[in-house]
Structure 1
């Protein structure tokens, strides 16, 4: 799933709501949905890379990322890095998850300039990438201070743990009527027939959210999805979902990428709001790795180190990434999500080695439930 599609949708959301709000009140409702300044714990001492690596990185002069994060999402993190390391330029190329792997393979095979770092939310694509030998087996100094689930594979670490959310049109479904759990959503499905939206299981976020949810909730989770599927529309991406929610075609949706949260402010928050479902908030790891043939490996190590640090994670939060390590202040971070739904109700997982073998069965049952 492409993050620039989400950002484009968010821009459209704000623009269209601004037009719809012309002539209305000027009161700014602020941000939509649950945010929190809950204590995220004590930060571990900083663990920077060595001075020698920094010096070599400055000599290289730049780091190139192939990622599923667009410029708006990446901008605060890149700006924070540039402020700390003014002699290292950050370049980010926004690509679809599968394009990241394909482009790197082609370029590395032909000797062309290619990515120093890759970043993707598609577990299966990244697992294939690792198994093909395209990742440098490198452990950043931050890793010992991260939770175990952040270590996804040798050389691969979670940049963020992005939740899926429920997104609602408050004009169609008032806040006091909106479900707070997948169980409530499923119970309401018949009266909301045709007014519920979700992501296609073919979408990487849609598949990983579905797999995490049913692997956690079991048969009861499938029963909820089957009840919802009988009344739901299916969209290829968060952009389409956001547009249709804005227009009132949908009253509510589930398993929407949580990266839209910081964007639902001002006029957008007059119409849309989000919530975390207490029994259905899986987190999707966004994997980051240095490539095996990185032209600027030292610059890549410095960027990874900053991105995983408390300082870097706080900057990343501003763009919509979801920090998960202790000591990071972020109204959308893991601590805030746990505060909203309860620590035991957040579905956190690393990479499930069984996911590839489960995919066909999960997709088949989902497609049957949603009439695909």
Structure 2
């Protein structure tokens, strides 16, 4: 029994046919050479990263640090981001993951997107962007109507044009857009480092951009299909390569550790819970996976960052802060937040 509740159920056995199908899906569209050895390299080079299997390392993740001052003090948001990037980089991480690039109140302009891209590229270490809802879901056009889909597509064009991370040194990533069926979803990316698989997935805050007034939620429904395939691919790949851990970065907290009958939206019908399907899928896949899973999101409450364990699944929720996560293969706890109060082992 863990501190966070009952342990997850025992894995269900899977048939050889299902395993073969998942492995085939995992490798579909993978970039050539994506699993060769290598290190993070300057921006002019293009090599995948691996780290040394069995050696400890750390990465930094920046939460939703924006104050959302409503435009009264727009410079404070960028100042906070610059400070967080400097502090996170000073910890000498293998890479940094930034959950989002702007506050909701900041403009959804190409100019701001470009400025933040340059800011991320100025960081010495590799940097991967995990999109946040504030980057695109609340954007409006000049007529005051939602411009979310157009802005999401523009972010894909500006930030995710190739298989490289941002930063002064680069990591080679494998993007879901490498698969023809999901060529629009370049924001979903994975990379392997030190016997652990890391991945981003577009699950924005505020109910996964489910819009009950919109009739057919085309953006939400299409992304749901892409994310379903992406999650299967990630867990199949981690299992096939016998990786000891899988870290999944998203903006929204899908509520994997909540009670199974619980809806994140009090008073809403289950069909209106935009996280219901990914929550169920992550639970099922995590139960079958032999390694340790860490879910990282940007919906924390402002307390000191800590990993909450439920069986072999950990949950780290960041607010207006950043955290350094240390990975120690072979230790009692695979993932530990440095300086946090989350160093108890999963049970």
Q: Which has the higher contact order (CA 8 A, sep 6+)?
A: 1
TM-score (norm 1): 0.24
Structure with higher helix content: 1
Provide TM-score, normalisation by structure 2: 0.26
